[in-house]
Structure 1
Amino acid sequence: MGVLTDYFRAADDAAVLAALHDAEGGPLVGGAGAVFDGVEAKGVDPDVVLGQLIAVVRRVEWAVDLVGGTPVWPTTPPPGREGPADEDDPWATGPWVMRLGRPVRDTLAELPEAGLAEVAAPWAATAEELPGADGEGLRPLVQELSGLARRARAAGEDLYCWLCL
């Protein structure tokens, strides 16, 4: 089973929660169009795969806490639950939304257009979670994520990740 991930920008957590309350299918789906400006990035989870991209851009070693996301939804853990979760428990079934740290947004926003190929190839080499990916194939995704981060920074917004199984 794959993980669906969408990256999007929003003013704050309250705006995300209000918009996603009624939006089935995620932040990039809506009756008249996308709920938020964002990028579909199937399989690019924030902690591992996006973290590997951030490590390549910063020229540092990857670490599980490199992205530093903050959970936005579900908002509170279930109170003292014992045994397996029921099928309607969002903590077990998702979707989940996390706000990414501003340093991640700024790292992606500062990526120069001319440097996309230099980043995409080593990212493909480290991203075992994206089988068959190569630098040329990942270059458009790097470009989209960088553009999204630039728009978020220009608007004073944060980047968010929506995940669903």
Structure 2
Amino acid sequence: MGVLFGYYAAADDHDASRAIVREDDEPTGTGYDELVVKGIDPVVALMPAEVLITGRSAAEVTTDARHGCLIAMVGDGEVVTVSLTDVFRDRLADFDRELLEDVARGWAASGDFFETPDAEDIEDMGDFLCSLAELATRAVTQGQRLYCWVCP
């Protein structure tokens, strides 16, 4: 099935942890504004897109305390939640949606993929960025932060 990544918005780190540390029998992320995808890791795979959108260097992104910060974990890592940077959330929310296809092409050309993305992959990456931008916009409007749960 592959690794699932659930990008979602939550009020704060404590609220974000409740997306995976459940006291009910609901699936991970239930009740949160989320976008679930396969294969787009928020720490490594998404880095080139974050660099292109924010204008920050990879070094600046990786030294941001919110970049991939472990927020919560179930068991021995069966499911984890990490944070995305507030700078990425803010810039993505304001980013011109018409330019996200160009960002997807630049992201695909970054050389950070095991296989070079083809035209269909690039279109899917652009669609993902548009959906993530919409999530970021809603998060900013509601005073929320962005997170990602990871489930192998």
Q: TM-score, normalised by structure 1?
A: 0.74
User: Are the structure 2 counterparts of residues 99 and 59 from structure 1 closer, same or farther at C-alpha, using a change threshold of 3 Å?
Assistant: closer
Give the secondary-structure state (helix, strand or coil) at the position aligned to 1:152: helix
Tell me the residue number matched to 1:42: 38
Give the secondary-structure state (helix, strand or coil) at the position aligned to 2:46: helix
User: Are the structure 2 counterparts of residues 96 and 23 from structure 1 closer, same or farther at C-alpha, using a change threshold of 3 Å?
Assistant: farther
Question: Which residue identity does 1:26 align to in structure 2?
Answer: T
Question: Which residue identity does 2:139 align to in structure 1?
Answer: A
Question: Which residue identity does 1:112 align to in structure 2?
Answer: D
Contact 1:3 1:42 in 2 (8 A): yes
Q: Gapped runs of 5+ residues in structure 2? A: none
Give the secondary-structure state (helix, strand or coil) at the position aligned to 1:69: coil
Number of aligned residue pairs: give it.
144
Q: In the aligned structure 1, how far is the partner of 2:43 from the partner of 2:11?
A: 22
Question: Which residue identity does 2:28 align to in structure 1?
Answer: G
CA offset at residue 61 of structure 1? 4.3
Alpha-carbon displacement from aligned partner over 1:51-89 (angstroms, at most 9, x marks no partner): 121012234543471661321112xxxxxxxxxxxxxx7
> Do residues 99 (structure 1) and 98 (structure 2) align?
no
Q: In the aligned structure 2, how far is the partner of 1:121 from the partner of 1:144?
A: 16
Q: Which runs of 4+ in 1 moved over 6 A?
A: none
In our comparison, the structure showing a higher alpha carbon Rg is 1
Contact 1:43 1:129 in 2 (8 A): no
Tell me the residue number matched to 1:16: 16
Give the secondary-structure state (helix, strand or coil) at the position aligned to 2:9: strand
1:47-126 mapped onto 2 (5 Å cutoff): 47-63=43-59, 65=62, 68-74=67-73, 90-91=75-76, 93-126=77-110
Identity between Structure 1 and Structure 2 (%): 32
Q: TM-score, normalised by structure 2?
A: 0.80
Q: In the aligned structure 1, how far is the partner of 2:129 from the partner of 2:58?
A: 17
CA offset at residue 23 of structure 1? 5.2
